[in-house]
Chains A and B, each alone.
Chain A
Amino acid sequence: MDTYQITTHTVEETIQLAEKLAILLKPGDVITLEGDLGAGKTTFTKGIAVGLGVKRNVTSPTFTIIKEYEGELPLYHMDVYRLEHSDEDIGFDEYFNGDGICIVEWARFIQDYLPQNRLEITISYINEHSRELAFTAWGDHFKYVLNELQL
């Protein structure tokens, strides 16, 4: 397990970091995002989408749980907050072993379904514009991704 922490000072900086990460991803990659309401989970995902060449605007998936986007790789954006008390599998395997990138907000609510190899990102609020991003890489592929991200 490797870790990496960085502080961003503007929304643009956060989005750029996400774009840089997106380029390093491959089909079937799973990224989990933790952070309080308003921390910037959807904003970070917007950056990933830009990096993946998604043309459509990424909006919050809270209501529908999963939103899908077409890009150079498909992007599956999930917010599983509302699955907190339901021990239900809504077909995660198909997404996690699929042909695209999965981003899971509030992933701790589906801990049992998450694949072993994944990139965990926790976004913490510092002040109105600044955020601390903590990355934890599980598995060799994500260790490589994290190394590249720091260059």
Chain B
Amino acid sequence: MKKDTILLGIETSCDETAVAIVKNGREILANVVASQIDSHKRFGGVVPEIASRHHVEQITYVLEEARQQSNTVWEDIDGIAVTEGPGLVGALLVGVNAAKALAFAKQKPLIGVHHIAGHIYANRLEKEFEFPLLALIVSGGHTELVLMKSHGAYELIGETRDDAAGEAYDKVARMLQLPYPGGPQIDRLAELGEEAIDFPRAWLEQNSYDFSFSGLKSSVINTIHNAKQRGKELRKEDIAASFQASVIDVLTTKTVRAAKEFDVKQVIIAGGVAANRGLRSALEAEFAKTSIPLLIPPLNLCTDNAAMIAAAGTIAFEQGRRSGLELNARPSLLLK
């Protein structure tokens, strides 16, 4: 019988300090996340230096908590997986150095993991993958369509050319004077509003799977300014609903088109914006019309966590990929 593979995962790329222990890339033995969102709320966003300081304060506690919850001993752990990028450099460094110290002290293999690979593999904690599969990653820093033909092989077929979807949400929320984080606020307002304003959809070139949300952002600003000059006040709910409709329309249409063109067996949604109710229901409705199964992970696996890093790391581990102790934080790492 094949021995189980148990990996410890560490994720500190942004504002969550997370450690998890995962068996065979699919079974969560422990998944501990210490969120800093309250610390960053008053600043209207993640403040890098504060984020790294929090990571330093919390990493050992989170690590200990995960080890206790999992009922494992060090002998059970086959390797240490850690997010090496992309992300905030000071934040990444805390996780990378913790992982290196553990790998060195406990004599365990070290595996550097791409943050987006983690988001994709969060889905495998729920359901086994079938290839080819298409992943739509939407978060504060990312808007990407990734095609996978086998484990650990990522083909980027589309990405944002300017703002990530989550960034556009945060910037529009800023204009509407909504508190941080902006995404959930707009999602909530959108449910109360009417799609009264016809904001543009950036389809780009006919066959492109790239995204662009900068023009939409500008259009929202212009619409608000123009209304103000004419002495009219637009309902925030309607702006939110109309803005969200444009984002969702483009994301959904391109994802469905790519899924059909590449004849995929699964479509998975990953990243923090996957928590958006409007997006979820639009995608569910569109894919219900096709025969392609749509996977959306539960909320706690959509947002940053370390179980997804351990899950993605398990595949790399099984494929024999290892990182040396020269592993470093790579803020602009590309997914390959």
Contact = CB atoms under 8 A, between A and B. Distances in A.
B51 to A, nearest CB: 10
Interface stretch (A13-21, A25-33, A59-67, A113-121): A59-67
Contacts of B162: 42, 59-60
A42 B87 contact: no
Contact of A66 (B167, B217, B331): B331
B48 to A, nearest CB: 5
Given A36-B221, A64-B86, A88 B166 contact: no
Interface residues of A, number: 27
B217 to A, nearest CB: 6
Instruction: Among B46, B141, B222, find the residue whose CB has the most chain A CB atoms closer than 10 A.
Output: B141
Interface in B128-158: 140-141
Contact of A37 (B50, B217, B332): B217
A63 B218 contact: no
B88 interface: yes
Contact of B90 (A62, A68, A90): A90
Nearest to B141: A63
A151 B217 CA distance: 34
Interface stretch (B69-77, B117-125, B169-177, B229-237): B169-177
Contacts of B44: 82, 84
A111 interface: no
A62 B331 contact: no
A38 B221 contact: yes
B331 A82 contact: no
Contacts of A36: 221
A85 B42 contact: yes
Interface in A59-86: 59-60, 62-69, 81-86
Contacts of A90: 48-49, 90
A64 B214 CA distance: 17
Contacts of B47: 82-83, 85-86, 88
B163 interface: yes
Contacts of B214: 38, 42-43, 60
Given A64-B141, A65-B48, A57 B171 contact: no
B179 interface: no
Contacts of A43: 214
Interface in B154-192: 159-164, 166-167, 170-171, 174-175
B331 A37 contact: no
B278 interface: no
Instruction: Among A62, A69, A84, find the residue whose CB has the most chain B CB atoms closer than 10 A.
Output: A62
B6 interface: no
A38 B175 CA distance: 11
Nearest to A69: B332
Please provide the 6 A-B residue pairs with the shortest distance between their CB atoms, ordered closest to farther.
Answer: A88-B49, A63-B141, A82-B45, A38-B218, A38-B221, A86-B47
29 contacts: A37-B174, A37-B221, A38-B221, A38-B222, A43-B214, A57-B159, A59-B161, A59-B163, A60-B167, A63-B140, A63-B164, A63-B166, A65-B88, A66-B89, A67-B331, A67-B332, A68-B331, A82-B44, A82-B47, A83-B47, A83-B48, A84-B43, A85-B42, A85-B43, A86-B50, A88-B48, A88-B49, A88-B50, A91-B90
